[in-house]
Amino acid sequence: MGEVFTGRYELVDLLGAGGMGAVWRVWDHRDATYRAAKVLRQSDSVSLLRFVRESSWRVEHPHVLMPQGRAGEDERVLFTMPVVRGGSLETVIADHGTVDPAWAAIVVDQVLQALAAVHANGIVHRDVKPANILLEPTGSHRPHAWLSDFGIAVSAEDARLTRAHEVVGTRRYQPPEAAAGAEPAPAQDLYAVGLVLRETVGDRPESAALVERLCGPAQDRPSAVEARAGLAAIAWDRSDVEELVEVFEQLPELPDGWAADGPRAGARHAPLRPAAPPQVASPRTPPAPAPPARAGARRAGRRIRPELALAAVLALGGVALLVGAVLAL
């Protein structure tokens, strides 16, 4: 069988790797379900404090994705989240460019719902961007989005854990006041939403006023609730839309010996070697062939490219900064 953390989380297959650790699909023996897990190496005390703080937050919302469990053994720590199988909004933008505005409006509205709940709990996300907006594989049906990666989020009641000269968040989505060193505030998340909306639907005139408000001066930006109202008031013109967005399953097939309900009886899984650094497939490895088109599909969008499939899982990567020194204390 595969390596098991604390008698509960069995590592199934490697989905990706980065400088601070690796992302695995794991089988949760206690809850009998698959989860995504970030396996991390030791880091510094600031990373530990960030992880402890994030792990203590509980925002229960259908569009907020936060860590659910954690475990530590030897020199490593892992934390788990639900597996989100449809990639990210970044994948959609990369594959389609601008997309159907009605579809985009649903996704952005769900992000605003998530931010309204997060802000109501006194938390500022600080890294809202397409790569951190994960999607369920809903096909051409109504999309379901999750706001993920709270690795650099802060609470107004907590001390800031930012080192001098440390770049926090993604510069492209930072408002001017954040780049200038202003204290974190919900309005900074709304600025990022404005950029996400513009990237997703393009420079459409019907959304220009809302984007301008979201990306304007901090004191003039709407709250998440107000932005939802502004988004709902837009009458989107779909007459120039050539294709709809279709979100497919993005994770690879389960390895031999594993099934939808867990490990097959009697299957022998190769033991893992913890000392070896995680490896990822060469970029030259050809992607798996696309599944055949579904009969009767109407105006289906292009299948999101498999080589971008790990974007959703690797969105956990930013949270790698949260965990490292658990076992060093």
Catalytically active residues, by annotation? 127
CA triple 228-171-79, angle to 5 deg: 80
Q: 33 pairs with which residues across the strands?
A: 28
Tokens coding 323: 């965990």
Q: Which of 270, 263, 255, 240 is nearest to 99 (CA)?
A: 240
Residue 179 Cα distances to 33, 126, 201, 220, angstroms: 41, 11, 26, 18
Using an 8 Å Cβ cutoff, are 251 and 309 in contact?
A: yes
Using an 8 Å Cβ cutoff, are 76 and 40 in contact?
A: yes
The span from the CA of 37 to the CA of 255, in Å, is 17
- Phi/psi of residue 12, each to 5°? -100, -60
Using an 8 Å Cβ cutoff, are 65 and 151 in contact?
A: no
Q: Which of 112, 167, 186 is nearest to 321 (CA)?
A: 167
